[in-house]
Amino acid sequence: MTRELVLDTETTGLEPAAGHRVIEIAALELVDRQPTGRVFWTYLDPERPVDPGAFAVHGIGDDVLRGKPRFADIAEELLTFLENAELVIHNAEFDLAFLDAEFARTGRATPPLASGHEVVDTLRLARRLHPGVSNSLDALCRRYGVDLSARRYHGARLDAELLVQVYLRMTAGQVGMGFEEAIQAAAETAPAALRRPSLPLPVRRAAGPERRAHHERLRAIAARAGSLAPFWLKELEATKGEP
């Protein structure tokens, strides 16, 4: 059984070292890539004002957070929920830095979350799959056909729900990787007459660095492809044997 938690946070600002705090946290559970309905979600009193720039992004103001639990109040429950789970986070470095800082403030001897959990950073994964283009959560939703109509602001719960859909589609082999549009366009285009070239076409073999990059990408896809992993591993083995 593989247990994953798709996690997101919202904060008062950008820098935990400058005293900014977590104001919302959401973690949605997947077991063997299926949503279970189990969720950890709460707003938090950061014990400081929300910066105007942060408010413009998530729309969560001081009035909403007044009277909510402090992080120290939910730390034990959160740690219990995170136990034995792989963490799936978009731009994981940001969220983990804030959570580690929050646990440190409680006085607990809690090691960094990345040291006790396998972490899948969907931003890094997306950059490998889609180099040279925007890989924000909004861009990925559009790329994979995830409905964004309910999203006026960022929010940890809503963003985690969107990321679940993106993550499952992004790691399901070739599905949602931009091939559907090309296939549909080809199907709608009248076939042109084929002409055999009069001279042999040159064949350019991939060099060492290119081959290694290709193998790394196949491994990354296989690692997240679930039931399709054997197909990608077979492709990987086949390319290793090429001249």
- Residues annotated as catalytic (active site), given as ranges: 154
DSSP 46-70: -SSPPPHHHHHHH---HHHHTTPPP
243: three-class secondary structure by DSSP: coil
Nearest to 41 by CA among 29, 50, 30: 29
Residue 234 to residue 222: CA distance in whole angstroms: 10
Q: Which ranges in the chain belong to alpha helices (H)?
A: 52-58, 62-65, 71-82, 92-105, 113-116, 122-129, 137-143, 156-170, 179-188, 208-223, 229-240
